[in-house]
Each structure stands twice: as structure tokens, then as C-alpha cells.
Amino acid sequence: MNKRIKITLIRLVVFSATLSLGPTAGAQRDIGVGEVNVQRDVVPVVTRSQDGESLNILKTAFSIHGRYRVANSMQEASFAIQVDPVGSNLSTLKIFSGIPERLQYTTQVQGESLRNSVLRAVDLAIYKTSGMRGFFGGKIAYVGEVGRGMEIYFRDFLFGEGKRLTNHGVEAVRPRWSPDGNYIVYTSYLSGFPNIRRIDIRGQRSEVMVDFKGTNSSARYSPDGTRLAMVLTGPGNADIYVGSSLAKGLKRIVNSNGLEATPCWSRDGREIIFASDRNGGLALYRGSAAGGQFSHIPTQISGYCAEPDWNHADSDLIAFTAGVGNRFQVATYRFSTRKSEFLTNERGDGIQPCWLNDGRHLIYTSRNGTDERIVLFDTVTKKRSILSPAGLGKINQASFLPPRR
């Protein structure tokens, strides 16, 4: 891959899934939210299960989260988290505290599979013991290399259950979930030219959405799922267009002498941020999703800023890819302070950041030589955890679908 990161097309493999679950109201006293002092850096927990696979999920999740650590006994723990399967797609969650232990909360959590119910139980335990949103019940779409092709897949957050969604033997890149989890839009070279296609997850059907002359890429749904932003080169330069969720009624909202790329939406869907080289180096710009004037974002951290992602839990914060020396790293920018900082320090590159639903964590691609892996990063404790197994090969361009509440 070109070291300047071809931001219109980047390799990756995808797995996607639809969620239709929700915890059932439980018995016992509800411990509520935020019982732990949020000023503490780490909450020690004991993990328990009568099922070996479920116990492994619990240990992994609480070990990589960053807000928690797995303790050996209740003498050093604030809570004991127990999750036991009770059916093909149902698990029982119990939360204990104190010495002697007292059962503080219990409920049953349903999922689309047994594994998914355990992951959702982890999310509920996180919420009950810290007040934070969980993300382990979510899904990750990504691109992976298969022979000479690049296909789209989805997996669960810990890269267990998943599915291959394309099998075209050509480049398929930049997958993005629809907010309801029913669709993934991506750019495909199936026709020989880059067109925007859409996969219906429910039937695994792929169809062309945008096939104008030139390059059609970087499609992304608005937070409410009613609109798509994308990059089209139709009349000349790569400019940004916005249309309906079916890519109808397209309107060019950014028109400059430069090349625009990778638009992302604000939480309320009123604004977008994108990368552009209109003034020389690649930089970030912000403005109305309806079009008009766009202002330069003064990151003041690099002459190469690309692949922005807007934090929807904290609208004051964005993450992006920044050039540093001959490498790339993930950085953040806060609008209120007008300050940037690097988050990653990969030996190779840290690229393609994607915020999670709690606003604290993000995932990104770690690229080192021929190795490309998806990494979870806690922006508070700076904990870095590799998510994708090496056995899956090169994986990048992750898109996150939050778990349904």
C-alpha cells in the first residue's frame, strides 16, 4: 500500500451481523449505575462461569477493557461477575460484592446466539458496575485479503462468530454499517471500476448503488440512516456528495480544486468532516452537511491529516490518521481546546480509527510490514489490545456496529 495511504481505497475484510436482543428484567436488588468511584483508574473484578468458553470470554473482555482488571479473589476485587448459559441463546448474569458476598443484581440476557448472549451480559455488567456503555455485544465489519481479492466480512467484537459477505475475487474496500445493522455499503471493483455497492445482511445480497463514470467511494450513512455521504469524481475532481439512504437525489456539497475524501458525520447529522488537499498538504475541514462554507480544522500536529472519525458520545472530539516522520499514527483533536495529541505509537503505522459507542475506546488498524491487525485502544488508560487473530491474515478498515439496547 502506498505510504501516503490511499484514503479513497484501503484494504480490509468484513464480517457483519444483525442484532435483535435485549436483557430481560431481573430479580434481586438493582445496584444501579456508577456505584464504583469513577475517579478510580481500574476496577478489580472476579470472573466466574460454569461454562469454560463463557469464562474465557469474561476473562478476555474484562482484561482488555482498560477500566477493569481481573482479580484472583474477592479480597482484592470490587465485584464478582458471573455469567452462566441457560439455553441456546440465553445467559444468566449475577453480580456480587462484599465479604461475605452479597448478590447485588441478577437477570437473564438474551442474544442471537449463546456466545452473543454472553457478550451482551458482559456489556450489562459493565454498565451496572461503572455506568459506561458496553461494546462487546457489537459487530465489526472489515476487509481481509483472500488470494488476489479483498473481501468483506463481519465478526463479533472478539472475532468469534462471523461471516464472509463477498466472494468476488476483486478489491472490496471501505465497508460501513447502516445504523440499523441491516446493510453495509462499500466500494467494489467488481465491474472493473470503483462503484459503491450495498450488502443486505439479512439475505446477503449485494447490489450496485452508485456507478457513475470515474471513482465512486467512501460511502457512509448518517447517524439516523436516512442519508449517505460519499466521494465521487464524476465531473472532475473528487468531491463530496450527499443523497438519500438509497443514494438518490445526490447533491454536491463540497466542490473545490482539491481532492476530497473520507467524509464522516456529526452525531446530529448536521455537519460533516472530511480530508482535502485543496491547500497543499492533506488537512481536515468541517462544515454543514447541506453544503456551503467549510472551515479548516487547525490540528497543528501534522501536514498529513486524513480518515477522520467523529466521536458521537463526545461531539467535541474527533480521531484521525496523522503523518509523523515516515509513519502514520492515530491522533485526536478537541474543538474546545483546539489541541491535538497522538494516541498511538506503533512501530509501523496506526491508521483508520473508528470510535466505539462509549466514546472512550476506539479501534484502528495496526500495520507493520505485511501484518495488519485490528486493535482496541482505551484512550483513558492507553491500554492497547490486539483483537483480530493472526490466523485471519491481513485485516483492516474496521467499521463498528454498536449493540442494540
Which pTM was predicted? 0.89
Q: DSSP assignment of 170-209, as one string?
A: SBEEEEEE-TTSSEEEEEE-TTSS-EEEEEETTTTEEEEE
Task: Categorize the per-residue pLDDT at 149 as very low, low, confident or very high, splitting at 50, 70 and 90.
Answer: confident
Q: Do domains 43-130 and 139-401 have the same CATH topology?
A: no
Lowest mean pLDDT among 200-204, 282-286, 291-295: 200-204
Domain ranges, ordered by start, for the chain: 43-130, 139-401
Predicted local confidence at residue 16, as pLDDT:
25
Q: What is the mean pLDDT of residues 363-378?
A: 96
pLDDT in tens, 179-230: 999 999 999 999 889 999 999 998 878 999 999 999 999 999 999 999 999 9
Lowest mean pLDDT among 6-20, 42-56, 187-201, 342-356: 6-20
pLDDT at 31 over 60: no
Residues above pLDDT 70, as percent of the chain: 90
pLDDT at 163 over 70: yes
Task: Categorize the per-residue pLDDT at 105 as very low, low, confident or very high, splitting at 50, 70 and 90.
Answer: very high
pLDDT in tens, 234-246: 767 899 999 999 9
pLDDT at 25 over 60: no
CA atoms of 179 and 227, how far apart (whole Å): 11
Predicted local confidence at residue 320, as pLDDT:
98
Q: What is the mean pLDDT of residues 85-112?
A: 96
CA atoms of 275 and 286, how far apart (whole Å): 9
Cell numbers standing for residue 360: 472512550
Task: Categorize the per-residue pLDDT at 370 as very low, low, confident or very high, splitting at 50, 70 and 90.
Answer: confident
Domain 43-130 belongs to what topology? Rossmann fold (3.40.50)
Residues 339, 344, 347, 351, Cα dihedral to 10°: -90
Task: Categorize the per-residue pLDDT at 11 as very low, low, confident or very high, splitting at 50, 70 and 90.
Answer: very low
Dihedral of CA 308/63/181/189: which sign? Answer: positive
pLDDT in tens, 326-336: 999 999 999 99
Strands 43-48, 79-85: parallel, antiparallel or unpaired by DSSP?
A: parallel
380: left (phi over 0), alpha (psi -120 to 50) or beta: alpha
Predicted local confidence at residue 39, as pLDDT:
38
Q: What is the mean pLDDT of residues 273-299?
A: 95
Dihedral of CA 118/122/128/129: which sign? Answer: positive
Predicted local confidence at residue 236, as pLDDT:
77
CA atoms of 128 and 316, how far apart (whole Å): 26
Residues 193, 198, 202, 205, Cα dihedral to 10°: -30
Cell numbers standing for residue 40: 478510580
Q: Nearest-5° angle of CA 133, CA 136, CA 138?
A: 90
Collapsing DSSP to helix, strand or coil, 63 comes out as helix
Domain 139-401 of CATH type 2.120.10.30: yes
Q: What is the mean pLDDT of residues 119-125?
A: 98
pLDDT at 9 over 80: no
Predicted local confidence at residue 14, as pLDDT:
25
